[in-house]
Amino acid sequence: MADKTYWKILLLMKRKPGISMEEFRNYYENNHVPLCAPYMSGISRYVRRYLEPQPHAESGTNEELPYDVVTEMWFDNEAGWKGTLDYITTTVMPDQVVQDELNFFHRPTMRIATVVECDSVMSPEGTPIV
């Protein structure tokens, strides 16, 4: 089995002040995801990874993180990835999407990053199969 390359766009987002994590996650999953579905052509996976801070072993602190969710948009090809990246970094989303984001995201802190992920198939011994 050959190695595979994936192209991803990461959206790092913080919830709006005063909204609990439970409310944030519920709104994102049940309102925002369905609203954005028509704008997701070319995306092969759409993953939301909700972050839950854990205590630090040495200090015991369990402070709130700068982001509450890392959203991943996966692409099977570089052309789709580049096209979507170009769109979301140069074009303001439709009004209905922006207005919905104002309901639960702290928009000034939103960030976009790209990832090229190279996935190696591993042997049972834990070494890459070439």
| Per-residue CA distances from 89 to 71, 95, 130 (Å) | 16, 16, 37
Cα-Cα-Cα-Cα dihedral sign, residues 72, 65, 22, 103 = negative
CATH assignment of 9-52+65-119, among 3.90.1170.30, 3.30.465.10, 3.40.120.10, 3.30.70.100: 3.30.70.100
Q: What is the pLDDT of residues 41-95, one digit of tens each?
A: 899 999 999 999 999 899 888 889 999 999 999 998 999 999 999 999 999 889 9
pLDDT band at 106 (very low <50, low <70, confident <90, very high): very high
Side chain identity at residue 90, one-letter code: T
Note the pLDDT of residue 120.
Answer: 81
Name the residue among 17, 9, 14 with its Cα closest to residue 67: 14
The answer for residues whose C-beta is within 8 angstroms of residue 3's C-beta and 6 or more apart is 118, 119, 120, 121
* Predicted TM-score of the model (pTM): 0.84
Percent of the chain with pLDDT over 90: 70
Note the pLDDT of residue 1.
Answer: 41
Cα-only R_g, the chain: 17
Question: How far is residue 24's CA from residue 29's CA, in Å, rounded to a whole number?
Answer: 9
Note the pLDDT of residue 2.
Answer: 52
19 has a pLDDT exceeding 60: yes
Mean pLDDT of the residues in the chain: 92
Note the pLDDT of residue 34.
Answer: 97
CB atoms within 10 A of CB 25: 17
